[in-house]
Copies of this chain bind each other. A is one copy, B any other.
Amino acid sequence: MLKPGVLDPQGEAICHSLDAIGFDDVTSVRQGKVIELDVAEGTTRERVRDMCDTLLVNSIIETYTIDME
């Protein structure tokens, strides 16, 4: 997700569109990404964190969480 305070024009556009078609009970919208990785057996959370920090996440404007299943 974008960090709080970072402008999210897509989220705002969605919010306006919802309002325009009658969903006026939505007060704000933020849009983010999900990246689902299939990884080899034994891949550690540390390794996935490394992928996030190296390539997947722009840590200047984005936050992330890792869920492993």
Contacts and interface: CB of A to CB of B under 8 A. Distances in A.
Interface residues of A, number: 30
Contact of A25 (B39, B54, B56): B39
A25 B33 CA distance: 21
A14 to B, nearest CB: 7
A51 B18 contact: yes
Contacts of A55: 14, 17-18, 21, 23
A6 interface: no
A43 B23 CA distance: 10
26 contacts: A11-B36, A14-B35, A14-B55, A18-B51, A21-B55, A23-B47, A23-B50, A23-B54, A25-B39, A25-B40, A25-B43, A25-B47, A26-B37, A27-B38, A27-B39, A27-B40, A28-B38, A29-B35, A29-B36, A30-B36, A31-B35, A32-B34, A32-B35, A33-B33, A33-B34, A34-B34
